Amino acid sequence: MVSALMPRMPAGSPSATIRGLAERLLISRAAVPARKPVDASFIALRVDRLLAMGRIEQALSLLKITADERQDENLARIRAESMFFNNDTAGACTAIQNERDKYTGLYWSQAQAFCLALSGDHTRAALIADLIREREGEIEPVFFAAIDALAGARKNGTPALQAPAALHLAMMRAAKLQIPAEIVQGGAVSVLRSVALSPNVALGARLIAAEKAHREGALTGEQVLRLYLGIPFAPEELNAPITAAEENWSPRTRALTLRSAAAQKVPLARAEVLRRAWQIGGERDSYAEIAGPSMPLVAELTPAVELNWFAGDAARVLFAGGRMDAALQWYRIAARDRAASDEARAADAALWPLAVLADTTGTVPLTGALLTDWYAVRRQADPQTGERQARTLFALMAALGRPISAVAWQSLLNAPFGSNDTGLNVAWQSRVDEATGGRRLGEAVLLAAVGAGESEGGVLKLGDALRVISALRAVGLESDARRLAVETAVASGL
């Protein structure tokens, strides 16, 4: 089952919890089927998934601990690809040189030609290119363009990319061929990561690639922020970043606003820039694109009374990004000042459900009366939305083992029992239940990752999320269960 399901693990996920679980599974012994030898194909499968996720360093680390006797052609190719993705062209060429007498497929011929060209042996590189040209329909067209360019025979334009390997992207960097901007429209997650970090790509395409790669977890917020800080903005842009963003909300102006926020050393000034940027993102249906990369900037701010007006926005960004402890600090600022400030009171009310789910110390107030009062307020504001939010919160609390009074459950009985929460099929549900009952950690995590990847938008429906949360708790992953519960609550609009 593991070998059948592992190739279906998603290359990216909007859920930081699912991404983290998947990565830990792939690099841990839990990914190894019980009582079975670990062969090269299984290791290659794990490394391949890590590469697809853009987790290059983790893939290389796993390869380093693989015994030489378990090497095969597939694993050797994946090793070379990992090094090309990591911009270690010298290391990749050394590995290819060491394997030149073992493997003779098209990939190895292209790689050998590239490495020969890099070493200055253009005659032998051209000879290999000529020998495989009769199979050019099976080869990325940019291979031939890069071999020519490295020899000094540069032609106008770059061939369109079809499904480039890391080898081809490395060839384009070495030959100083511009990567076509179109690659960001349908490129694999690992390719998007490489494009975002490559200097031979138009800035606009790099920014789009960076946003997409970050959303799928292939780039951290810190990596995206470093890219933003290196952009040469004009002085007039730097003087009025919010105005520029309001006039033209784009990857470039999102980068500009975060560049401006990073430059603000006074916490109040930074908070003002961030809050307005998040507001614009929400208005323009691109909140995630600005919120994710801004998390490092929020994390540098210390929650304080004078920033209680900012607490709600800051905590929501941090909750969505899985930074529970930092988010709870902002919630506590709002809760403490709710009697003195309307904004703090609103933030306290809005954040309370998330704080209840994230709390591990019992310091967030929770009683049956508070639950029923919260539901009454939400239902009064919007009956349909209030009922949906109450069902979501109560269900997530139950999945986490949090107590819910009979009175609170009774308050939901007057609402319709119907739901449009149809999720994954019964085969998945049954297998998750089996893994839960058997306390099979690796299987539970694998099913969670594949299930999320095959759900609409990469997000588990509520019923499926509840099943996974219960499974994670059963196998001892309590903190992951809690993070997934908070993510589910945020995604549902709580």
Output the 3-class SS for 402-422: CCCCHHHHHHHCCCCCCCCCC
> Is the confidence at residue 29, as pLDDT, over 70?
no
The half-sphere exposure of 252 on its side-chain side, counting CA atoms within 13 A, is: 13
> Is the confidence at residue 361, as pLDDT, over 80?
yes
> Is the confidence at residue 245, as pLDDT, over 90?
yes
Of the chain, the percentage scoring pLDDT greater than 90 comes to: 53
Task: Identify the burial level of 72 via C-beta atoms within 10 angstroms of its C-beta, where 0-12 means exposed, 13-18 middle and 19 or more buried.
Answer: middle
Mean pLDDT of 111-135: 94
Q: Which of 333, 323, 400 is nearest to 366 (CA)?
A: 400
CA–CA separation, 286 and 93 (whole Å):
41
Mean pLDDT of 444-450: 94
Under the banding of pLDDT at 50, 70 and 90, the label for residue 375 is confident
> Is the confidence at residue 33, as pLDDT, over 60?
no
Under the banding of pLDDT at 50, 70 and 90, the label for residue 38 is low
Higher-confidence residue of 197 and 41: namely 197
Mean pLDDT of 225-254: 91
> Is the confidence at residue 312, as pLDDT, over 50?
yes
Least confident of 21-35, 128-142, 280-294, 473-487: 21-35
CA–CA separation, 395 and 401 (whole Å):
10
> Is the confidence at residue 304, as pLDDT, over 50?
yes
Q: Return the CATH architecture of domain 39-219.
A: Alpha Horseshoe (1.25)
DSSP assignment, residue 201? B
Rg of the chain taking only CA atoms, in angstroms:
26
The domain spans of the chain are: 39-219
Under the banding of pLDDT at 50, 70 and 90, the label for residue 30 is very low
CB 10 within 8 A of CB 44: no
Higher-confidence residue of 402 and 114: namely 114
DSSP assignment, residue 14? S
Mean pLDDT of 423-444: 90
Q: CA of 349: how far to CAs of 356, 358, 370, 488, 491, in Å?
A: 11, 15, 11, 18, 18
Mean pLDDT of 228-257: 91
CA–CA separation, 451 and 465 (whole Å):
10
DSSP assignment, residue 327? H
> Is the confidence at residue 36, as pLDDT, over 60?
no
pLDDT by residue (tens digit) across 201-231? 889 999 999 999 999 889 998 999 999 988 8
> Is the confidence at residue 116, as pLDDT, over 90?
yes
CA–CA separation, 121 and 99 (whole Å):
18
Mean pLDDT of 271-293: 94
Mean pLDDT of 31-57: 74
> Is the confidence at residue 299, as pLDDT, over 90?
yes
What is the predicted pLDDT for the residue at 182?
86
Secondary structure class of 366 (helix, strand, coil): coil
CB 360 within 8 A of CB 371: no
pLDDT by residue (tens digit) across 73-112? 888 899 999 999 999 999 999 999 988 888 888 999 999 9
Under the banding of pLDDT at 50, 70 and 90, the label for residue 146 is very high
What is the predicted pLDDT for the residue at 417?
67
Residues contacting 17, CB < 8 A, separation 6+: 322, 480, 483, 484, 487
pTM attached to this predicted model = 0.86
Least confident of 116-130, 313-327, 415-429, 439-453: 415-429
Strand partners, 179: 201
Instruction: Tally the residues of the chain.
Output: 494
What is the predicted pLDDT for the residue at 474?
94
**Which position has the token pair 């490394």?**
47
Least confident of 60-69, 186-195, 403-412: 60-69
> Is the confidence at residue 403, as pLDDT, over 70?
yes
Task: Give the chain's mean pLDDT.
Answer: 89
